[in-house]
Structure 1
Amino acid sequence: MKVKQLGEDCLKGIFEFTSDDKITLYSCLKANRAFCKNVVPILWRNPWINSSNYYDDTIFWKLIGKTILKCLPKESKENLYKKGLRLNPSITELPLFNYVSYCQSLSDKIIQKLVDNILDGYNCDHYDYKSIIQEEFWKLFLRQSFNIKILKLPSFKIFDLPDSRGRLSNITTLECDTSLPSEYFLEIPKYCNSVRRIEIFMNFNNFNEGIESLILTQNNLRELKFRAIEDKKFKFKNSKTIEFLSNSLKSIEFENKVCLSSQIFSSFTNLTELHINLKNFDYCGLYCLKDIIIPQLEVLDLSNAVGVNFDTYSKLISNTHGFLRIIKIETKSHPPTSNIELYLQTLITYCPRIEVVPIWLARRQSLDNFDNFLVSSNELKIIQIELKEPNDNTINRETVLAKPIFELLATRANPELKKIYLRGRWSFNHIDLQEFFEMWKGRRYLTFHFDNEFYSYYIVKVCEEYYKQGVINGGTINYTSKV
């Protein structure tokens, strides 16, 4: 019995360790009963994100909606039948698992999408049946989901529903809409006061007294996310809220717009993470970043960044106090060469603890600053080096030799460097790569990702050989063209 229990515990540990690898978990479902029993609860914690694995999103929502219909209690199914809704007879079958009980994420959008796809194709009064099934689904989740952690507040008072008060006490992430009436938030602190993350969708309103009151009642609040659709700043009208957040807040995330004033932003002196996803151009928001001082910032994550604004990003980095460890920047366009030099110099001066960083290099650019950066970055673990493309539309763009970059990485970089990404039209042959791997011997094993201009059988063989020797432990090869 003890051996059997040990095996079960080991399986759980293994699957928990691979919980982010959905493809691997799916492949384990049909292996045997023990695998299936341990994998299903993991996949159903937040099954909605798995729709990206389906070519046809509609098929996914139909399948998962049908499965949830099967989880409805017998009286609910009979109620749907009495109301005239003739669904597929297969929903009377009992599911293999009580899938709903594993769900940890819930929102009105999820419920709506499930119901819309269930009713798609039925010749019935869509609106009436939609409200009936929605109500049954909300009751189902609140009755059987034992550990809901992520909740988007619906457009009704959810705590008025039976079973909601006991099921929602473990919420860690709460999504709020500023268009909801303030009184919708008044019941939440009575049953839920350990929210770690609050996501605020600014739906035309830039202030909601209920949301501000909610913030002040949470004992474990560490993260705020703002999603804005207009050029408005979110307003805090209670000075106690700003004081509270300045002590507790560790992470802020903005989607679309940077919707806090620089004065309020700079009040959050204990911030360690800043995430900005600028899906739309936000001149005002970017401009205010130059005036923000975040002394303890450790993680800076910028998505959809624009190259011409690298002077602003460099200024933001210089307003930290040397704690930055991780910089992630995904760009829509490459920075000008002058901004590349400024960025490198800023890293050298203000980021002595940097571990993860992207670097841009321009053609015919001096490598002095890059050399100095490698020497000064004593804790560097992961580096992405991207070749800046010219602004013109020249078809036959020249490639750039990677050999000087290889030499600097092998001789000047921190011995603990473990991942290198080369992106762009780099050119090197198998001899260049072999010399690099030879210089790397004796250092930490390396994960190496790179682009090369022309396909080379010899480069592949070199990688295979040094993989066998333990110099590299993985990576990817991308070729611009194949011959």
Structure 2
Amino acid sequence: MRVKQLTEDCLKGILEFISDDKNTLYSCLNANRAFCKSVVPILWRNPWIYSSIYYDDTIFWKCIGKTILKCLPKESKEDFYKNGLKLNPSIIEQPLFNYVTYCQSLSDKIIEKLVDNLLDVHDNDHIALNDYKSIIQEKFWELFLSQSYNIKFFKLPTFKIFDRPEAKKCLSNISTLECDTFLPSEYFLEVPKYCRSLKRIEIVMNFNNFNEGIESLILSQNNLQELKFCALQDDKKFKFKNSKTIEFLSNSLKSIEFENRVCLSSQIFSSFTNLTELHINLKNFDYCGLYCLKDIIIPQLEVLDLKNAVGVNFDTYSKLISNTHGFLRIIKIETKSHPPTSNIEIYLQTLITYCPRIEVVPIWLARRQSLDNFDNFLVSSIELKIIQIELKEPNDNTSNRETVLAKPVLELLATRSNPELKKIYLKGRWSFSHVDLQEFFELWKGRRYLTFHFDNEFYSYYIVRICEEYYKQGVINGGTINYTSKV
């Protein structure tokens, strides 16, 4: 079928399906007008996220700021020149799209970054620069609030946003609200007048660990399912002083997320009996408040996601898993250091005993470790679909260059695992020959198509050839070898 025969709705559906593949979307921009018209709204839903992957953060914000500047009405642009603000004459041109209308994420930090990187000190009076910034910030707020009618994520700014008439319509559809505890309580009391369908509230604990307005906001919502806490200070726990708030959350809350530290007491935590997802990012610490997880019982938990975890605390993670009631389907643990061998065995035994429905899981194996528990885990995990197996590096640096034969692990995966297993990731200094891999793929024949990833630094032409051959046969449907060679 030719592209020109695709209907607009069909094309949009295809592009939506690949909306997470930004590289492909960018390549579609220059295909033709129809592609460009469909891709731009997707890329501009949250364009700010691309700053982290851009080669120069300053240039990124300057470029995107100029684009938004062009979206301003002609009258606003003329006002800039009347006030002595020197800007590139190209801003008079109207852009091909009104990009602001597609934006679904907005915060005061975004506006500030756009403006701070937009003005050039050398081209403008340094003394008047702050005044110019205030003028452009005001115009940008007017632009977004008057034309962005599909805002989904919004951070409550330090000024009373709802004093602006245009904000009431713009913010009526937000599903995620971020708010700081240092803001006055009355700021939060205005939100329910225009929005009672928040799905997610993100609380930044900044100086205060209690805000009556936030509790009132929570109680006013009809569809609240997710809470995120970002603690900016050590040893701070968020306090709920209204018992009705805890009762309300125990019925509605499905997901909770912690950034930096666990900032709820175990008693309050365990009140959320309908919780199905727990996400913890331990980037800056992994001790303060973490041990309360040993005392938490989350009977309905299905997803456990731990980032920047520390290996020595694996006994705590295992205890948390054992306090669930067999509903866990997905476990994601990203570690800064490998767990001790003794904790690996406890972790495997915990999975065998308490996770009969596990579908996605990371596993660690140590050198010269018995594979009995690993074997038992594969046999007991009758719904396993994705597994990541990481080789634990020894503490003795003199042994770091040793490799471990992966053949017995591959044989167990091919003969003892659930037939629905579809993705295998091997991480670490595993080794196997192309013959070993060929035997593994022969054993795999007749099972579900496999995606196979192997990422140590060794490269073997013969292994790549074996993968290519079994890809042609349909035994495997993709993967990577050594990060560089795609299957």
Q: Is the 8 A contact 2:286 2:310 kept in 1?
A: no
Displacement, 1:243? 0.3
CA distance in 2, matches of 1:243, 1:54: 44
**Structure 1 equivalent of residue 70 of structure 2:** 70
Code of the residue aligned with 1:32 in structure 2: it is N
Matched, 1:189 2:189: no
1:311 aligned to which of 284, 309, 315: 315
Matched, 1:134 2:134: no
CA distance in 2, matches of 1:354, 1:344: 12
User: What is the CA deviation profile of residues 162-206 of structure 1, one whole-angstrom value per residue up to 9, with x for unaligned ones?
Assistant: 311011110000000001111111111000010000000000110
CA distance in 2, matches of 1:313, 1:79: 59
Q: Is the 8 A contact 2:364 2:389 kept in 1?
A: yes
CA distance in 2, matches of 1:452, 1:132: 54
Code of the residue aligned with 1:225 in structure 2: it is K
User: What is the CA deviation profile of residues 234-263 of structure 1, one whole-angstrom value per residue up to 9, with x for unaligned ones?
Assistant: 000100000000000000000001000000
**Structure 2 equivalent of residue 111 of structure 1:** 111
CA distance in 1, matches of 2:382, 2:424: 16
Between 388-397 and 367-376, report the one with greater CA deviation. Answer: 388-397
Q: How do residues 161-240 of structure 1 correspond to structure 2 at under 5 angstroms?
A: 161-230=164-233, 231-240=235-244
Code of the residue aligned with 1:123 in structure 2: it is N
2:479 counterpart SS class: strand
**Structure 2 equivalent of residue 330 of structure 1:** 334
CA distance in 2, matches of 1:396, 1:213: 55
Matched, 1:281 2:285: yes
**Structure 2 equivalent of residue 411 of structure 1:** 415
Between 288-297 and 51-60, report the one with greater CA deviation. Answer: 51-60
Displacement, 1:394? 2.0
2:196 counterpart SS class: coil
Structure 1: gaps spanning 5 or more residues = none
Q: Cα distance 1:452–1:49, how it changes in 2: closer, same or farther (>3 A)? A: closer
User: What is the CA deviation profile of residues 32-83 of structure 1, one whole-angstrom value per residue up to 9, with x for unaligned ones?
Assistant: 0000000000000111011233201111111100000000011111222222
Runs (4 or more) in structure 1 with deviation over 4 Å come to: 3-6
**Structure 2 equivalent of residue 248 of structure 1:** 252
Q: How many residues align?
A: 478
CA distance in 1, matches of 2:166, 2:247: 35
CA distance in 1, matches of 2:162, 2:143: 15
Q: Is the 8 A contact 1:454 1:479 kept in 2?
A: no
CA distance in 1, matches of 2:180, 2:457: 49
Matched, 1:441 2:442: no
Q: Is the 8 A contact 1:71 1:98 kept in 2?
A: yes
Q: Is the 8 A contact 2:185 2:214 kept in 1?
A: yes
Displacement, 1:282? 3.8
- Identical residues among aligned pairs (%): 87
**Structure 1 equivalent of residue 455 of structure 2:** 451
Displacement, 1:393? 2.0
Displacement, 1:5? 9.1
- Normalising by structure 2, report the TM-score: 0.96
User: What is the CA deviation profile of residues 385-432 of structure 1, one whole-angstrom value per residue up to 9, with x for unaligned ones?
Assistant: 000000122265311000000100000000000000000000100000
Q: Is the 8 A contact 2:182 2:208 kept in 1?
A: yes
CA RMSD of aligned residues (A): 1.4
2:155 aligned to which of 133, 143, 152: 152
1:68 counterpart SS class: helix
Q: Is the 8 A contact 1:76 1:136 kept in 2?
A: yes
CA distance in 1, matches of 2:456, 2:179: 47
2:331 counterpart SS class: strand
Q: Cα distance 1:216–1:399, how it changes in 2: closer, same or farther (>3 A)? A: same
